[in-house]
Amino acid sequence: MEKKRSASVHLTALLFILPAFLVYTLYTASSIFRTFQFSLHDWSGFGPVANSANIGFANYVKLFADERFLHAIKNNFLLVVVSIVFQLSTGMILALIINSKNRGTKFFRTIYPMPLLLSTVATGILWLLMFNPYTGLFNGLLRIISPDVRLSWLGSEQVVLFAVMFVICWQYSPQYMILLRAGMTNISAEVYEAAVIDGANKWQQFWKITFPLLSGTLKTSAVLSIVGSLKYFDLIWIMTGGGPNGYSELMATYMYRKAFTEDQMGYASSVASSMIVISLVVIIIVQFMLKQKDNQ
């Protein structure tokens, strides 16, 4: 009886998983395999990869001595930290705002996700204009305080990464607002009512009820934020191209540059493979740490 049930459960499971598994394996798994294959060759990207020399792990050796790449990794991890801190906290605040019973939340709910809904191209163009030293809004506002301000937000090697990270956080905070808000719907109103009866103020309600009950969603958000930051590409490419002089370079922009502007598809594939491995390791560590916290 048990064996029969077990077999039917497995068959059911197989059928449930099959559609997603098929598409995903076909496209993603095979792509990863191919990428790894490319990375073992000295391949420019032109013509079949089989025509190029198989150089084993030489690309990886070169990669981990590559200053630009190491700098890019640093930038990515900086982005991870900044993203988690700012995007999640902002997303949380926004979610609380739109979840509240005050009037006008419907309006807020519609406007807040605009950064996310308006295409990245528009975001890139608008913020490029805003950061312009001469005609940009930022310097324009600063000039009210001290005239002749010509700060070069995107041109200065020290500031550029932070300027773009600000825009990235701005763009993605609403994503976490949506996710956390969805998580909040799982918390029943009765729990809050009981707390209010017990005399808890809003602050206590948040830390003792909302925050703990959202821990699952927060963990999900953290993981999403981490993987997103490690593979991030768009706004850096649009607003700075990785410059000036590689100071805002990310692993993904470096990979793109090598693959499509420098005829080094093999080397670029080693960048891509490394990115996947790095992300995997980070996520496994994070999942492990989160499980530890759970068990405490």
Partner 1 sequence: MKKLMDKVGFYGVAGLYLVLFGFPFVITIVMSFKSQMEFLGGNFWGFPSTLFFGNFARVFASNFPRYFANSVFVTALSVTISILAGSLASYAIARLKLKYAPYLLLFFMVGMMIPVHTTLVPIYQLTKAFGLIDSHWGLILPFVNFSLPIAIYIMTSFFREISISIQESAIIDGASPFTIYWKIMLPLSTPAISTVAIYNFLTCWNEFIYSMTLLNTERKKTLPLGIREFFGSETVNIPAVLTAILIASLPIIIFYIFAQEKVVNGLSAGAIKG
Partner 2 sequence: MKKTMMIALLLMVAVTFGLYAGGAAETAAKPTTTLELWHIQVNETAKRPIENAVRRFEAANPGVKVNISVIEANPYKTKLKTVTGNDFPDVFHSWGGSWLESFVDAGMVADITEASKAWKDQVSESAFALNVYDGKVYGSPYMNSSTIMYYNKDLFKKYNLTPPKTYSELVQVAETFKKNGIIPFALANQAKWPGAQHFVLLSMRLGGPDIFKRAIDGEVKFTDEVFVKAGEMLQDMVKKGYFPEGVNGIDYNTGGSRVMFYAEQAAMIVQTSNMLSIVKTENPAFYQNKLGVMLYPSIEGGKGKATDLLAGENAFSVSAYAENKDIAAKLVGFLSTDLQLMEEYAKGGAIGASKFAPVPADDPLLRDAMAQIANATFIQNFIDQTLAPELANMHKDTVQALFGGTMTAVQAAQTMQKTADGLK
Q: Which does 16 bind (CB under 5 to 8 A by kind): partner 2, partner 1, none?
A: partner 1
Q: Is 110 in the site for partner 1 (CB under 8 A)?
A: yes
Q: Is 85 in the site for partner 1 (CB under 8 A)?
A: no
Shortest reach from residue 45's CB to partner 2, in Å: 6
Q: Is 17 in the site for partner 1 (CB under 8 A)?
A: yes
Q: Kindly tell me which residue out of 58, 71, 109, 133 binds partner 1, with binding defined by CB under 8 A.
A: 109
Q: What is the CA radius of gyration of the chain?
A: 24
Q: Kindly tell me which residue out of 146, 158, 185, 295 binds partner 1, with binding defined by CB under 8 A.
A: 185
Q: Kindly tell me which residue out of 151, 159, 200, 227 binds partner 1, with binding defined by CB under 8 A.
A: 227
β strands within the chain, DSSP E: 41-42, 53-54
User: Quick one: DSSP state of residue 47?
Assistant: S
Q: Which does 270 bind (CB under 5 to 8 A by kind): partner 1, partner 2, none?
A: none
132, amino acid identity? N
**Residue 250, burial from CB neighbour count under 10 angstroms (0-12, 13-18, 19+):** buried
Q: Is 262 in the site for partner 2 (CB under 8 A)?
A: yes
Among candidate residues 78, 92, 93, 166, the one with its CA nearest the CA of residue 130: 166
Of residues 114 through 173, those in contact with partner 2 by CB under 8 A are 125, 128-129, 131-135, 150-157, 160
Residue whose token pair is 């809050």? 192
CA 216 to chain centre: 18
Shortest reach from residue 71's CB to partner 1, in Å: 17
Site size for partner 2 (CB under 8 A): 34
Q: Are 247 and 202 in contact (CB under 8 A)?
A: no
Q: Which does 191 bind (CB under 5 to 8 A by kind): partner 2, partner 1, none?
A: partner 1
- Dihedral sign for Cα 30, 32, 36, 42, please: positive
